[in-house]
Amino acid sequence: QVQLVESGGGLVQAGGSLRLSCVASGRDFSTYVMGWFRQAPGQEREFVAAISRSDGRTTYADSVKGRFTISRDNAEKTVYLQMNSPKPEDTAVYYCAAKLTTYFSPYYTKEYMYNYWGQGTQVTVAS
């Protein structure tokens, strides 16, 4: 089992940058595919990005491709989401999630595919 704690959210100006972190506790962090999702008020939670266990393969939602970068440090049990040039429509609660699997697929984009979730961190992008 793994517990996830996000941090780094806050208020950012459009066009600025922000980095979210998600620290995992428990064993075998490197056995999990890690993902980021977000949920805006009144909307369903949606996929943002995911990263493979150890070889750096990634997949992104079209809405953030080219602006956001997911990365991980297995030694530090941490996954990051670098948000560059954020837009007001990126305002949401951001959640990290872990999927226990030996594989990676660019189709790991659905909530039900992930086993563990953090509590979320609020990101507000001001115009």
Which residues, 6 or more positions from 27, have their beta carbon under 8 angstroms from its beta carbon?
Answer: 2
Mean pLDDT of 100-126: 95
User: Mind listing the pLDDT tens digit for each residue in 52-64?
Assistant: 999 999 999 999 9
- pLDDT value, residue 43: 96
User: What is the SS3 assignment for 114?
Assistant: coil
d(CA 12, CA 123): 8
- pLDDT value, residue 118: 98
With CA atoms as reference, report the closest residue to 50 among 31, 63, 66, 33. 33
- pLDDT value, residue 84: 98
User: Mind listing the pLDDT tens digit for each residue in 56-93?
Assistant: 999 999 999 999 999 999 999 999 999 999 999 999 99
Regarding predicted confidence, which is higher, 77 or 27? 77
- pLDDT value, residue 26: 85
> Residue 45 class from Cβ within 10 Å (0-12 exposed, 13-18 middle, 19+ buried)?
middle
